[in-house]
């Protein structure tokens, strides 16, 4: 069994200009958190507790979402992740400031934290 999912954890927001990467803030996790995340944790914990599976390995790695602008990023978060995450105005303001000051071709990205766990079914 492979458990592959993002972990809600104040994902960093970065402005990327060629080789230069500037972190302008983080996504703010809302208290509720993603409903699926909690359900997944509970399900995995139950399967482990009941001895159905044995953990073979766990990996954490970054997963980047890339947009052309901070506005596109903000719109996406508002539309798709409104239940559990928000980008605060201060972060948007900082991103715009960095982009304005550097006057360079840029993209913006969000660095999600991914969990990959491999479980072996017990006979």
By CB under 8 A, name the binding residues for another protein. Answer: 1-6, 34, 36-37, 39-40, 57, 59, 61-68, 72, 76, 114, 116, 118
**Cα-flanking dihedrals φ and ψ of residue 40, to 5°?**
-65, -45
Whose Cβ is closer to another protein: residue 38's or residue 102's?
Answer: 38
Can you tell me the distance from the alpha carbon of 85 to that of 11, in angstroms, rounded to the nearest whole number?
10
The least CB distance from residue 94 to another protein, in Å, is 21
The answer to whether 26 touches 13, Cβ cutoff 8 Å, is yes
Can you tell me the distance from the alpha carbon of 73 to that of 84, in angstroms, rounded to the nearest whole number?
15
Whose Cβ is closer to another protein: residue 81's or residue 96's?
Answer: 81
Q: Which residues contact 89 (CB under 8 A, 6 or more apart)?
A: none
The least CB distance from residue 56 to another protein, in Å, is 8
The least CB distance from residue 47 to another protein, in Å, is 10
The least CB distance from residue 102 to another protein, in Å, is 19
Whose Cβ is closer to another protein: residue 26's or residue 114's?
Answer: 114
Whose Cβ is closer to another protein: residue 23's or residue 69's?
Answer: 69
CA angle 83, 21, 18 (to 5 degrees): 120
The answer to whether 4 touches 119, Cβ cutoff 8 Å, is no
């Amino acid at each position: 069994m492979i458990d592959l999912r993002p972990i809600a954890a104040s994902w960093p927001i970065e402005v990327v200009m060629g080789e230069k990467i500037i972190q302008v803030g983080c996504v703010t996790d809302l208290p509720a958190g993603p409903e699926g995340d909690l359900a997944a944790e509970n399900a995995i914990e139950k399967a482990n507790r009941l001895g159905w599976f044995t953990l073979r390995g766990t990996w954490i790695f970054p997963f980047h979402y890339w947009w052309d602008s901070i506005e596109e990023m903000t719109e996406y978060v508002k539309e798709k992740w409104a239940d559990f995450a928000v980008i605060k105005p201060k972060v948007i303001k900082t991103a715009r400031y960095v982009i304005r000051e550097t006057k360079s071709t840029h993209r913006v990205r969000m660095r999600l934290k991914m969990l990959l766990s491999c479980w072996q079914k017990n006979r």
